[in-house]
Structure 1
C-alpha cells in the first residue's frame, strides 16, 4: 500500500519534468530553429549583388578577404574588437569616419561586436603595415609591449631560424586591410600627420630621460629592443627592419619629427596622440642611444679630400636622384616614396653603418644595395654624408 502511494506521488513529478522539457523544445523550435530556417535564404545577398561581394570570386569560392573574415570569426576576434564607429563624441577622432549602413551589406553574420577590450577595427585599412600585423599576431607584445591579446602561433610556420605567416595569417591580414578601405584616405590623413606641431624643445633633464625610458619600454621596445639596436621581438617580421638607434646621431628635434609623423610604408607608427611633453621626453631618451656617434662622424667630415671624393661617389652613383643635392630630399619625393629617403642635414651615421647599407641596401625601401661602393669609396661617402649635417642648427647638447 505504501509503495503504491510512492509511485502515485512520482507520476506528477515525471509529468511536470516531461512537460517542462517539451515546453523548452517547443520554444526552441518556435523562436530559434523556425526563424532561422525561414530567414536563412533571405540572409544571403541577391544573386546579382553577390557577384560583387569581396568575400567570394566569380566561381563562388572564398577570396583571401573572405577566408580572412572566416578566420576572424572562428578565432573569436569579435569578442574583443568592435567594427562600428559610433556617431558620438570623439569616436571620429579616435578611429575615423562614422560607420555607414552600406559597409556591412555583405556581412552575414555581422561582426559589429559589443566590447572594446582591443581597438575598433572598422577603419584598419592602411592604418598599419602588413609586417606590423604579422608581428602582432605572432606575439602581440612585439608591437604593443603591454598588450593582453593572446598569441596566435598556429598561424605561422618556422623556416630556418625565422617564423613565416601561413595562408591563414595572410588571409586574416588581407581582411583587416580591407576594413574601411573606402575611407582609407581619410584615415591616412588622420594617422600620418603631414606636418609637425610643437611649441619647441624643452631643456634636457634627467626627469625627461627617466620619463622617456618609461615611454620607450611601453611603446618601442618590441621593435627597437631594450638596447635600441633594432633587435626587438618583432625583428623577424619587419621589412624594413626597425632602426638600430645606436648607429646614428639623431637630434631631439629629428626624433620628435619621426615620432610625431611616423614613417608611412614601414611598421613605425605616428605617436601624435601622446602629449607634447611626453613626446619630448621620449625624444630625449631615443636621442641618447646614438649621442656618441656625433663626434667620430663629424671627425670624418674634417678630411676635405675624403669629403670631395665622397661627393663624387654620391653624384656618380645617382644618389642625388632620391636624396637630392646636398642631401636635401627634393620636394614631393619624400611623400611619393614610402618610406621616404633620409635628409642627411638632419642626422649622422657611423661609417660601418654606411658600409653595411651599401653592401646590403635597405630591404623594404627604395634603397638598393650598391656592392660597387665598398672599402675606401664607402668610407669617403660616409665622410661626405657627415659633412652635410647641419651643425649650426643642431648644436651638441
Structure 2
C-alpha cells in the first residue's frame, strides 16, 4: 500500500527573458536554497532528487542535470531526470511522488531548471529562431519535423480541428484568456509578462499561426522552481519545525498520446488530458471537478489550448469550454479561477520548471499565501502538458 505524500516546501527563481548573471546550475542552486529555507531543512536532509530538465540544446550541454546535482551538494545521492516537453514539471512531481509513496525515499527534492535563451542563431543574430529550432527536434525527425513542426504550428492543430467541429473557440474568446492571464500576472514578482491589455489589443496583434496571434502565445523564459515532497511521518515533523502546513498530494494521473496527430482518437481534443485527468480524479475521489476543485493551474502555452483543456479536464462539456471564459467562471472571483498566477502566458514558460512553478502556486493557494487568494481554498489542481501536439499530460490534485 502506498504512503501518503505531502509537499512541505516550495521555492522559485523569477521567470525572465534572460538571467545574464546566472548559469543554469546557479538557477538550480538558487531555487534549491529557497525551497530548503521554506521547509527549514538542509541539503543533507534530502534523500534523493528528481530534475525537470527539458532541452539540452538550450543549454549547449547534454545531461546538464548531473552538473546541477553536483552544484547543489547532492553528490553520491541518487538523482533522476525527467524530460517530457512542457509537461516536464508535472511529470517530475509525479516521479518524486512515486519515490516517496513507494517507500524508496522519505524526503525528495523536485527541481526544474531551464535557461532557454542561451540559444543563438548566427545567421539572424537572434535567439528566437535557434530556440524554436531546438524545440522542433522534439518532433519525429524523420517524418514530422521536415514538414515544419514548430510549437505554435503544432499546438494550433487541435484548436483548428475544434473550431471546425464545434465552431469555437472564437478569436474573441481566446483573447479573453490572454487578457485574464496577462492581468493575473500583474503584481506577481515571479512573472515575466504582466500586462494590462484589452481584447482589442490581442485581436490587433499579428498572427503567428492562425488563429493564434502574438498575444495568444506564451514567451519562453529562464527560471527555476522547486518542491520538497515527504512521507507523512517526515512531513508532520518538518511542518512542526517550519511552521508551514503540509499540503497533501491526493491524486496523480498521466497519459501519453501518439506523437503523430493523425493516429489519435480525434484531433479536436487533447486526448492525453482526458485520460490523465480521469485517472487523477479517480485517485482523489473527485466526481464533479468544477464543483469540487477550488483553484486550478492549467498549461496555457496558447490561449486556445487553455479553453480546450477546460473541456478535456472535465470542467465543461466538449464544445462548451468557451462559456467558462466568456461567462467569467474561470476569472478571479468566479466559480473556479484558473491561472491566478498568470499561467504561462502571464508568468512565462521556463519549460522544465513551469509545471513545478504552477504547482507551487497551487500550494500557495492552499496555504493561504497567494497574491490573488481564493478564500478558504481546500482543493487545487495542476495540469501539465507538453511534447509534439500535446502528447504528454500529467495531472495532480492537492488538498489540505
What's the TM-score, normalizing by structure 2?
Answer: 0.25
Q: Which has the higher helix share?
A: 1
Query: Higher Cα Rg: structure 1 or 2?
Result: 1
What's the TM-score, normalizing by structure 1?
Answer: 0.26
Q: Which has the higher strand share?
A: 2
Q: Which has the higher contact order (CA 8 A, sep 6+)?
A: 2
